[in-house]
Chains A and B, each alone.
Chain A
Amino acid sequence: MTAHGDTHEHHEPGLQHQFEDMNQQEESVSIAMWAFLAQEIMFFGGLFTAYLVFRWRFPMAFAAGSNHLDPFWGGLNTLVLIVSSLTMALTVYYAQKGNRTLQVAMIVLTMLFGSVFLGVKAIEYTDKYNHGLVPVTGWNKKVKEDTSAPHVTEQDCTQVGHGDGDDHYVNPKGEFQWKDCSLVKLAQEKNYLTADEKIGYFTNGEIDADKFRDKVRLFYFIYFVMTGLHALHMIIGLGVMLWLLWKAWIGTYGPKYYAPVEISGLYWHFVDIVWIFLFPLLYLLGRHFLH
């Protein structure tokens, strides 16, 4: 390989040894990226399937969980990502134009927006940690029992006692916490519980707070897996952008050679699009139950 690679004459900058010309190379990397994105769609597809199956079964639990997510942060992130897609597209444009300065500036902006997105995500995750909404036992903040508050007795559900010596905390082991069953009551009154819900939230005809909590926990499980994997894709995207920044800085890309910028852009747009689906599914569906 080395013998061959070294003796091969390089027609163009960035032309790899296995290709005949730049056209072939660019076509190859472009097809490769599209195929990779097809793979990514299938990857997230499994999760979307799981989401749809359980939302179909337990719409009230999903609405309850969803309503606790703050659409302000979600909306802000959507906006941030859409703008970052614009700056990414401009990066490709300036790479084609051969404008190094603006190219670098746009990459920096894109990375900035990407970081803002992840920062907001961190704020949201912290909120879940503080409210005991991480579905993994032990990964939640232990909450002191609020003995003074009168609303404890006003809870919507028959609350099961939390037992033994550790009664300083409502979740002594950092368990997942969920108490609000008002949506089940609402649905019960208006008679639109699904068949699965009639089994899934009730014990002997009474609303069972623990069983409802488990369904909300399902929502948060799916929420964390989906947004977590999405955030992982963002982090990988930022890594790619860092590499792109360095290559752009040393002036690699111009009108003749900009394929890496283009396919990185494809990837970035794809990650945005996934979020465009995640945002309404996770944050917005179910908000009408608030009013």
Chain B
Amino acid sequence: MQDVSAISGNSIPADEPKLNYINNGHTLKSWLLTKDHKRIALMYLLSVSAFFLMGGIYAAFIRLELLTPASDLLETATYNKVFTQHGILMVFFFLIPAIPAILGNFLLPLMIGAKDLALPRINLLSLYIYWIGGIITLWALMKGGVDTGWTFYTPYSTTFSNSYVMAVGIGVFINGFSSILTGLNFIVSIHTMRAPGMTWFRLPLFVWAHYATSLVMILGTPVVAITILLVAIERFARIGIFDPAIGGDPILFQHLFWFYSHPAVYIMILPGMGVISEVIAGFSRKRIFGYEFVAFSSIAIAVFGFLVWGHHMFVSGQSVFAGLVFSFLTMVVAVPSAIKTFNWVATMYKGSISYDTPMLYAIGFLGLFLVGGLTGLFLGSIGLTVHLTDTYFIVAHFHYVMVGGQVIAYLAGIHYWWPKMTGRMYSEFWGKVSAMLVFVGFNLTFFPQFILGYMGMPRRYASYPEELQVLNIFSTAGASVLGIGLLMPVVYLIHSLFYGKKAADNPWMHPGLEWRTSSPPPTENFKEMPVVTWEAYDFGEESGLDIEEARRREAVTV
């Protein structure tokens, strides 16, 4: 107990910079050959952001093209490539690595009180694999791009497409191993690297969420890897098992693809749920309501997530019986997500809620994820989804879950842990403005698409009937607001690096282990091995937080 409060060090850092992970070595080599999870996380942050920017530019072109009913801004051939590349970059190079590879990498060892992940070299390897996969993909995009849709459906991808399917396929295949290795590292670290006293049920829910995510990464990613490899081999050999002309089966591809890609949806949302659990508990200053239920619902989602892939194929000609079974299981998997939502709301009950930027994002998440989850029920209901599938209803639904869920959670997490990662505070005012803009812009962009979908507007269309233009104009207008909202953090976060106020070690006075070391942390994370004697989310004095001292500090700075 005593040594803990010593670690937590509430004092404002002196002007003389302490030795931390950022200034411990300045050479390029010290970054490129580092085994420090925090440096790897920062390099991921840069790379993933670059891909996010590229994907965002493609999104802008999509929305501009859809401003008018005719295909006028882009030729259809270009439009097909633009939406495909938007999907591929966003799914494989942004959504999947965003929270696990950046925030997970940075925080997981800190949260469990370890010096590093269990396999630091593997961690660095995963970054290099990500880079190699990314470079191959970018090379293919520069050479001419790919137009199969991010789903690579056969036989279009294997036989008919004239684009760089093979190169992009190999890029995605290689990139898959990056997430496999990350997942592997997390599982091992959570099992063996916990500090003394950090029992399984004292783990922050962020760690539980990453454990569930890692299970999916390890068990799902290899299947899609082999599937995409088969597509590449088929294109090369001009023969194969997905080619109906010789007795192959294009539907088999869909089964193999969605067996991974549906669980991959949970790779994209579970870590976000973990972040939201941390932020809501933190800024309500309350233990999360029903800790065990939130923790096990993550595992339940990961497990059931493997059983529902067929709900992507309700109209693909699979048997009626299979359709009904998948529809039933889809309904079952909705329940753990509902449990989480209720628990998050209940956590705020009788809390002490502050409106800091991360909390604003988290509240936005609750609203958007609610809509995303409920519209998931529309699509799980098999009779209704016959009408809705392959329309803009689907597009709107998964953007509500992926952007409204994962991206918003990612932004909440970045704002929450920014002081820890960089040692600087960002502008609270601009943070709040951007959180509001993102929320408003997002809803304006994607809510009209639900209506468009029910009207029957098919997805992946470069042109559409004129009567649907008004809703598309709303959507494009919203997208520009959303774009501005998303660009603002880039500006004020970079600004904060140079001009931001120095962050205290524990600016929010939260009890997690990551706040009990200096900001930014030293390379070895903790000066001394922490010993955990308090339960998770214990905001009281008994967890060793010196709240009086923090209040004094606030009084001085305000």
Contact = CB atoms under 8 A, between A and B. Distances in A.
Whether chains A and B associate is yes
Interface of A: 1-4, 8, 16-20, 24, 27-29, 31-32, 35-36, 38-40, 42-47, 49-50, 53-54, 57-58, 135-137, 176, 196, 200, 211, 214-215, 217-218, 221-222, 225
B340 to A, nearest CB: 26
B218 A38 contact: yes
B523 interface: yes
Contact of A137 (B226, B238, B247): B238
Contacts of B184: 32, 35-36, 39
B241 A50 contact: yes
B239 A135 contact: yes
A209 to B, nearest CB: 13
B452 interface: no
Contacts of B491: none
6 contacts: A2-B24, A3-B523, A31-B191, A46-B256, A54-B249, A221-B240
Contacts of B240: 218, 221
Contact of A32 (B119, B223, B237, B255): B119
Nearest to B236: A136
B219 A24 contact: no
B38 to A, nearest CB: 9
B34 A39 contact: no
Contact of B219 (A8, A29, A39, A176): A39
Per CB-CB distance, the 3 closest pairs between chain A and chain B, nearest first, are: A43-B222, A214-B246, A18-B116
Interface string B236-277: 111111000011110010011000000000000000000000
Interface string B185-214: 101110111000000000000000000000
Contact of B24 (A3, A28, A29, A225): A3
A137 B240 CA distance: 12
Nearest to B109: A18
A43 B226 contact: yes
Contacts of B21: 1
Nearest to B234: A221
A200 B191 CA distance: 51
A18 B188 contact: no
Given A17-B115, A58-B247, 8 more contacts: A1-B523, A42-B223, A43-B225, A49-B256, A136-B237, A214-B246, A218-B240, A225-B233
B120 interface: yes
Contacts of B239: 135-137, 176, 217, 221
A149 to B, nearest CB: 28
Contact of A46 (B187, B222, B248): B222
B180 interface: yes
Which of A18, A19, A47, A54 has the most chain B CB within a 10 Å cutoff? A18
A45 B115 contact: no
Contacts of B122: 32
A1 B36 contact: yes
Contacts of B339: none
B517 to A, nearest CB: 13
B540 interface: no
B222 A39 contact: yes
A134 B317 CA distance: 33
B25 interface: yes
Name B's interface SS: helix
A211 B247 contact: yes
A54 B241 contact: yes
B118 interface: yes
- Which range holds the interface residue count of chain B? 35 or more
A286 B237 CA distance: 26
A214 B249 CA distance: 13
B220 A42 contact: yes
B445 interface: no
Nearest to A57: B247
B114 interface: yes
B497 interface: no
A31 B188 contact: yes
B191 to A, nearest CB: 5
A135 B230 CA distance: 14
Nearest to A197: B247
Interface string B520-558: 001110000100000000000000000000000000000
A18 B193 contact: yes
A16 B24 CA distance: 19
A2 B36 CA distance: 9
B116 A28 contact: no
A53 B247 CA distance: 12
B30 interface: yes
B415 interface: no
A218 B247 contact: yes
B117 interface: yes
B385 interface: no
Interface in B279-316: none
A215 B226 contact: no
Contact of B249 (A3, A18, A24, A53): A53
A196 B252 CA distance: 15
Contacts of B233: 225
Nearest to B522: A4
B19 interface: yes
Given A31-B188, A42-B222, A135-B239, A218 B246 contact: yes
A88 B210 CA distance: 35
Contacts of A53: 249, 252
Contacts of B227: 46
B116 A215 contact: no
A31 to B, nearest CB: 5
Nearest to A36: B184
Nearest to A136: B237
A193 B284 CA distance: 67
A221 B231 CA distance: 12
B510 interface: no
Contacts of A137: 237-239
A31 B116 CA distance: 17
A50 B257 CA distance: 12
Given A35-B218, A42-B222, A215 B188 contact: no
B454 to A, nearest CB: 36
Contacts of B248: 54, 218
A54 B30 CA distance: 52
B420 interface: no
A138 to B, nearest CB: 10
Contacts of B256: 46, 49-50
A280 to B, nearest CB: 20
A40 B222 CA distance: 7
Contacts of A54: 241, 248-249
A154 B377 CA distance: 62
A221 B25 contact: no
A4 B524 contact: yes
A24 to B, nearest CB: 6
A35 B182 CA distance: 12
B35 interface: yes
